[in-house]
Amino acid sequence: MTFAFFDCLVLNTVMAARALTRRYDKVLRPFEISVVQFTVLMTVQNSPRMSVNSMAARISMDRTTLLRNLEPLSKRGLVIAGRPEKGNVRHFELTEKGAALLEEILPLWRDSQDELRALVIDPGPEDFLGGLRALTAGEARQQADA
């Protein structure tokens, strides 16, 4: 059996991940927030008082990358560093401004989720690969139109 490189699930997954990131960054651009920062805000909201180390593990992000993304959110007043109850365990909490921003973004995020889920509903291995290719092709078409 001959295996075509462009049928590689890893390659197609990486390409689709990049397409998804660009797509969500475009949706979030008017809010001056990246998809990574949105993920961090949602994690802070859904895991209040969670340590930075635990939060980084939850979203599979390096601790220093997480802190680098929390810094601009903190400067914008969207999150605030919480005081440790004991020791020096750092955690962050969502501010009212951060909660308001998420409320504004969530409907757009949900619409994007619904649109993307329609492309990858109940995939088998070949359907999964096709779904990844569809995501990537859709992104390529959007870039060409821009």
Q: Over 80: is that where the pLDDT of 115 sits?
A: yes
Residue 55: which CATH number? 1.10.10.10
Please tell me which residue, 79 or 6, carries the higher pLDDT value.
79
Task: Classify residue 89: in a domain, yes or no.
Answer: yes
Within a 10 A sphere around the Cβ of 88, how many other Cβ atoms?
5
CA 29 to chain centre: 13
pTM over 0.85: no
- Asked if residue 50 is part of any domain, the answer here is yes
How many domains does the chain divide into?
1
37 lies in a domain?
yes
Q: Is residue 135 part of a domain?
A: no
Confidence check: pLDDT of 5 > 80 = no
Whether 25 is covered by a domain: the verdict is yes
Cα separation, 19 vs 27, in Å, equals 13
User: Which residues have CB under 8 Å from 50's CB, separation 6+?
Assistant: 43, 44, 58, 91
Q: Please, which pLDDT band fits residue 143 given cuts at 50, 70 and 90?
A: low
**In which domain, by residue range, is 72 found?**
5-114
